[in-house]
Every structure is written in C-alpha cells, then in structure tokens.
Amino acid sequence: DPCRNFHCKRGKVCRVDKQGKPSCICQDPAACPSTKEYEHVCGTDNKTYDGTCQLFGTKCQLEGTKMGRQLHLDYMGSCKYIPHCTDYEVDQFPLRMRDWLKNILVQYYERDLDTSGFLTEKQRSKVKKIYQNDKRLVAGDHPVELLLHDFEKNYHMYVYPVHWQFHQLDQHPVDRSLTHSELAPLRASLVPMEHCITRFFQECDGDQDKLIALKEWCHCFGIKE
C-alpha cells in the first residue's frame, strides 16, 4: 500500500492516483468517523464540530481563503459562552497554573512508584525533591492569598514545573520558543475551565513576534532569570 508510510498533515488524507502514486487530498468532513459528544470541539469560528477530523477537513477545504486562514481549534468540547477575562483574573491565573503544574508532576511521580513510564530518571529525581518536601502545599482548591504566600515562601518548588511544561510543549521543532500550534494542545484543553488562558498567552508574548520564548514564559509565571 503506497499510502502506508506516506504522511499527510491534519485535515488531509492519502489517495493513490491512477499511476499508483500517493498524494494528499482534503479530508471530506462528511466522511469523518462518528464521534461521541465528549469528542466535540469548538472552532475559532464559534461553531461546534463533531471532532478534530471534521474541523481540520473543513479548514483544508477552505485553504487559500481568509476563512481558512482564520479557522483553528479553539478548545475541546462543544462551543459555549466563555466569559470575558478581567485584569484581576489574568493576574491570578499564573498562581493557579503554577500550583496545577506542580500537582500534575507530583501525580506522575506517585503513579511512577507503581508503574514507571510517565517521567524520565532525570525528571523523577527533580520531582522527588518536591514530593518529599514536608512543606509542600498539597493539592486542593486554595484561596489566592495562600497560593501567593506559598510561592513566595517555597519558590524553589515551582521553578521546575514551569520549565517542565515549556519543554513538554516545545516539540515541533525544539527551539526554545513556542508557536501558536505548540501551545494549542494545552490551550484547547484548558479554555473551558480557565477562560483567561488565551489572554494570558497573548500577554506573555512581550515582543509580539507570535512566539513565546523560554525567557518570556518564565517571566509570565514569575520565575526569576
């Protein structure tokens, strides 16, 4: 099968022509496999799509048009009302995000105690120090004042989780800066719960070059140089 190892970008599928040569053509959105409701996604056109196959197939068919350029995955789940993010809320966002990242790493470490595979050896040794620290603020819905106090008192526990998340996202290519598409997996999954994440990332890009450098990322999370 000439299509077996022939890679097409999202929204396109491989087809073999009469000469037996593989090429990429737009996915027909109507031919996408049916999805469950939890697999629905919301596009930046504020329309709910049955899944990413349908969204990217539609984007491909609009290639070369203004609508096609503007259509992206906005967030996971059906479209809903996302409230406006206030200045006060965007200031609070890094407090919750830092705490969340720290707790994710601790969860991965706990799972690795039974079955390894979530973290590398180097990552495990870094998270072990956080996990074993008896001053660690345990996971919970903490008031902003407590999160701020803990960050100031136990600053060293938050540095690695912030760096870790950056390097998890910095994959295509690995170049110490994040593009819109590299940020998309994190953004798209968090928008319904954290409506300030879009504005937060926009404001993180200090020089407005459409890339978030490691330095900008750390600055946004209050990590010193």
State both tokens at 12: 């396109």
Q: Are 20 and 64 contained in the same domain?
A: yes
Mean pLDDT of 207-220: 95
Q: Is residue 196 part of a domain?
A: yes
Q: Are 26 and 135 contained in the same domain?
A: no
0.85 exceeded by pTM:
no
Specify the CATH number for the domain of residue 163.
1.10.238.10
Is 100 a residue whose pLDDT tops 80? Answer: yes
Q: What are the distances in angstroms from CA 150 to CA 92, 143, 156, 164, 187?
A: 14, 11, 10, 20, 25
Q: From start to end of the chain, where are the E strands?
A: 12-16, 22-26, 41-43, 48-49, 73-76, 177-178, 212-213
Q: Are 72 and 109 contained in the same domain?
A: no
Is 165 a residue whose pLDDT tops 90? Answer: yes
| 216: containing domain | 87-221
Domain count along the chain: 2
Q: Is residue 6 part of a domain?
A: no
Domain's final residue, options 76, 109, 125: 76
State both tokens at 208: 């407005």
For the ranges 154-158, 172-176, 196-200, the maximum mean pLDDT occurs at: 154-158
User: Any idea which residue has 């690795």 for tokens?
Assistant: 112
Domain's final residue, options 56, 76, 96: 76
Q: Are 39 and 66 contained in the same domain?
A: yes
For the ranges 33-37, 59-63, 170-174, the maximum mean pLDDT occurs at: 59-63
Q: Is residue 102 part of a domain?
A: yes
State both tokens at 196: 């300030």
| CA 83 – CA 74 distance, rounded (Å) | 14
H or E stretch including 158? helix 156-169
Specify the CATH number for the domain of residue 70.
3.30.60.30
For 42-99, what is each residue's pLDDT tens digit?
999 999 999 999 999 999 999 999 999 999 999 999 999 988 999 999 999 999 999 9
Q: Are 44 and 99 contained in the same domain?
A: no
Domain's final residue, options 51, 76, 101: 76
- Is the CB of residue 110 less than 8 Å from the CB of residue 128? no
For the chain, what is the total number of helices (H) and then of strands (E)? 9, 7
pLDDT-above-70 percentage for the chain: 100
Mean pLDDT of 193-216: 93
